[in-house]
Structure formats: structure tokens, C-alpha cells
Amino acid sequence: MNQIVDRFRFILDSNDKTSMTTSRSNQLYPQDQYNQKLEANVHPRQWINPTPDGRYNLVVIGAGTAGLVTAAGAAGLGAKVALIERNLMGGDCLNVGCVPSKAVISAARVAANIKHARHFGIDVHEGLNVDFAAVMERMRKLRAKISYNDSAERFRDLGIDVYFGQASFVDSTSVEVEGTKLQFKRAVIATGARAAAPRIPGLDSVGYLTNETVFSLTELPRRLGIIGAGPIGCEMAQSFAQLGSEVLLVESEHGILPREDRDAAEIVQKAISHDGVHLRCCGKKLKIKNEQGIRLTVESHGKNYDEPIDQLLVAVGRAPNVESLNLEAVDVEYDNKGVKVNDKMQTTNSRIYAAGDICSRYQFTHAADFMARIVIQNSLFMGRKKLSVLTIPWSTYTSPEIAHVGLYEDEAKDRGVEVDTYIQHFSDVDRAILEGDDDGFVKVHTKIGSDEIVGATIVARNAGDMISEITLAMTHHLGLSKIGNTIHPYPTQAEAIRKLGDQYSRTRLTPMVKTAFNKWLAWRR
């Protein structure tokens, strides 16, 4: 096992302690048939870069979600497009993010359902035996199956010139890749971000995992330490606990998911603790030691802990992929958070745009997708589409899930927006009760005195699916009363959202209106 850990160890820069991009061999370990198929799709070994034939309408640097959507959309409209990728097409989402994590989470949920089967009157006599190697093999198989959608071959067939190698700007009209200069009218930076290692004493003395390497594991860690109780940390902590690991989760702030609604986060915290995750929040004096293995020491709520662990996952921090792009040559400003863009996704060089994790605090696949659509319109057609008009939801895929869109209550207060808050607990929703998923809620904030929705949070098994109804309403300016007047099937958990519409409607029944109704009804007798 230690040899496997050494394989995943990141090389740390001595100045900023930021992890560098992992190599293909590390990301695609083990080299089984599924990873070989993945590699053949997203970075073919025998690929020969094309020879440029004239100027490109658009050169896209980075083949993650933002880059792929930009390239495909522009080519579909008839533009001449070049797409450059230095590592694996598909970016984080396909290779080390959404796709592999949700495959692992789905297996972990099955294991959890079996463990809790007795609550439904079902006795599993054989007990539970998790074959972790098979879980991870299934993940690799499904990832490889999905990978054709992001493959070099598919994008070449779309009429796009696909180049593999490190891109570097020469000037405001050209970029170089593997010694070949490409001329462009417009360019798009979509190089994304990577895992970053925080400054933790002793961290550079041990082999550790990030989201970029954890999915290369083939053996279940008996004891897994995780630093960071954000979305990645919580998803992986709960999943590995459900699969049989003893998990220690360390967070410097109080509780988990510090950016989420506190009521919602507390419900998830209770759930992951029930699944066996040991939380050490308000963590101070965190240190990592290499003493015949990894030891983690931390102070939590006045108590000192010294824990031996088999594997360590660092799930906090991101760094933008700006190295070697030579952005200074084209006057593109950036900092440690990424490339700076205006509301039209333009960088400080008006000929160069950016999209996705490289330039946005919304580091989600679906956000990158819609940023790319803005870039296509603005870069090719002098459009005036704006990032600020997007209504962007997100979800953390714990069990239960937390999904959110719009403003939190404290954000609304900070912006001077007064709100009314409506809450529907799933303990009063029939389908949730019958499913055993009644420990959650839907919370919606509206502008005070109106039904205009400004934000919402859902805690439920399928919160990520349910939030779309509210996102649709916000995007198209449909008030909460419109949701209340929309028939929902019974029994469903989504009925909780309709019930909030009823709550709003009841607030319109003021004493004056009620008196008028009573007089009308009395006259009609």
C-alpha cells in the first residue's frame, strides 16, 4: 500500500505549496483495459497534431467542460476552431471529478441501503461484503464508457483541429503548441484549476491523495484521514465510511460545509456521523507526521487527538492553471484565484476570453457549460451576453444531498435585501415519510411582501434534481405562487415545493381580506 501511496505523491513547490498537475500515468492508474480505453479516447498515444491551415476564428486552450462546449458550439456555427489540451480531454469532470466521484457515491449508497434494510422489514442474512476493488473497477468501466463524448476523435469529427501539448501565447494573435504557431482572431482560456495543498506542517513528508488521485485507489483504506469538510471532503468521507473505512474528517471551521445554510449542514453532519465519520471540527494545531506511517494530530474543541491513518486525502484548496501560458505577453491579468474577466467573459485583453474554473468562483461543470455559451456569442458575434444574469444552482452529493440556488439569508441581509422565509419540512411530506427520508426540508427566500424568489436550499435524498424547479422559476421570473398553482403528482417529495406556494398564498389572506370574504359568503347564503 505504501508503494501505491508513493506513486500518488505530489511534487510541491517550495514557495506556495501548491500541488502541480499530475501526470497521465498517475491519473490513469491502474493501467487496466478501462483506463487504456479512457486514454485512447481522451489522449491517444499515437495522436498526430494537425498542420494549421490559415487563421482560426477561435483557439480554445483547455479541453475540460468549458473548452469542449466552446469548441463544439463554435464549430457547429461554422467557425474554424482549434482546441488545445496538455493532459486529458474531459478535464476534471470526466477524469477526476463528477464522473468518478458519483460512481463511487452510487456504490456507497447501495451499501448503506443494505445496512439499513432492517428498518424496512428486510433482513439480509448474508450480511454485507464490500469488494472495493470491484467498486473502483465499475467506476473505471463507466468512466471509460462515457469518455467517448469528450474524445479527440469525436471532436475531430466535429471539424475541430485538436492539438495535444502545452499552449503558450506568443502575442495577441497567435499561440504556440509543441513548436507549432497557431494564428487566431479570438482565443479562449479554459485551462481550469487543480487541487492545491495548504500549508500544513509535515504534509510534504508523506504521500497524500487529492481528488486527482483518490480514484486511482484499488484497496480500501482501513483508516482514512480527510482534511477539509467542504463538498469533496464530505462526499468522500461519507462514501468511504459507507464502504467500510474508518474515516477521520478534519475541518478548521465549526461543523461541516461552512458555506452552506447552517440548518441544512447540520442535518448532513448528523447523517455522516451516523454513517461512522468521526468529525474533528474547529481544528487547530493540525500537523502531519511520518512515523512508520502517517499520523495526524489536531486539537478539536479543547481536546488533543493523535491518530494513525493509512491514507490521507487533502480536500481543500484550488489553484488556477495559468503556468506556462505566458499571459504576461498578451496583458492578461490574473492572480491566485485565476484569470480576471469582465461580465462578458473578456479578459483584460479584449481579443482573449476565459470560461470555467480558471476565472469563476462557481467551479461547477454546469456553470462552465453556460459560461462557454456566453463566450461563443460574445467572441464570435459581438454579443452582449452577461455572466451576471445566470442563475446558477449547485448540489453537494452527500446523503441527504444539499442543493442551493440564489442568495442565502445572510447574503440577502448583507445586500440590503429584506426577505420572507418559507420552510417545508419533509417530516410533513407523505412520500418522504414513506421512503424514510423525512429528515430534511425545502427553504425558500422571497423578497419581503412578494412571491419573488431570491434563494432556496433543499436538503433531501434527491435535492440536486429537485432544485431545478426553483431554478427554472427564478430564471423566468415565476413567483412562488405560480409553483403553488402548479399541480404536482402525489405522492412525491417535490410536493414539498408546491406546499411552499400554499404557504405564501395563505399570507395573502390578511384580516381585511378575510373579513371581506366572510361578508361575501354571508351574503351568498
Q: CA dihedral in degrees (104, 109, 114, 116; nearest 10)? A: 150
> Which amino acid does the sequence have at 100?
P
233 annotated as ligand-binding: yes
285's grid cell: 494545531
Main-chain dihedrals φ then ψ at residue 119, nearest 5 degrees:
-70, -15
Main-chain dihedrals φ then ψ at residue 238, nearest 5 degrees:
-65, -45
Q: Which residue matches cell numbers 454513517?
A: 275
| C-beta separation of 10 from 20 below 8 A | yes
Of 287, 60, 75, 92, which is closest to residue 175 (Cα–Cα)? 60
Question: Distance between CA 97 and CA 95 in Å, rounded?
Answer: 6
54 annotated as ligand-binding: no
418 annotated as ligand-binding: no
251 annotated as ligand-binding: yes
Which positions ≥6 away from 401 have C-beta within 8 Å? 395, 458, 459, 460, 461, 462, 463, 464
393's grid cell: 444552482
359 annotated as ligand-binding: no
Main-chain dihedrals φ then ψ at residue 223, nearest 5 degrees:
-125, 120
357 annotated as ligand-binding: yes
Q: CA dihedral in degrees (162, 189, 407, 395; nearest 10)? A: 30
235 annotated as ligand-binding: yes
Q: How far is CA 210 from the centre of its chain?
A: 14
234 annotated as ligand-binding: yes
228 annotated as ligand-binding: yes
230 annotated as ligand-binding: yes
373's grid cell: 455559451
Tell me the binding residues for NAD(+): 228-235, 251, 317
Tell me the binding residues for FAD: 102, 357
Tell me the binding residues: 102, 228-235, 251, 317, 357
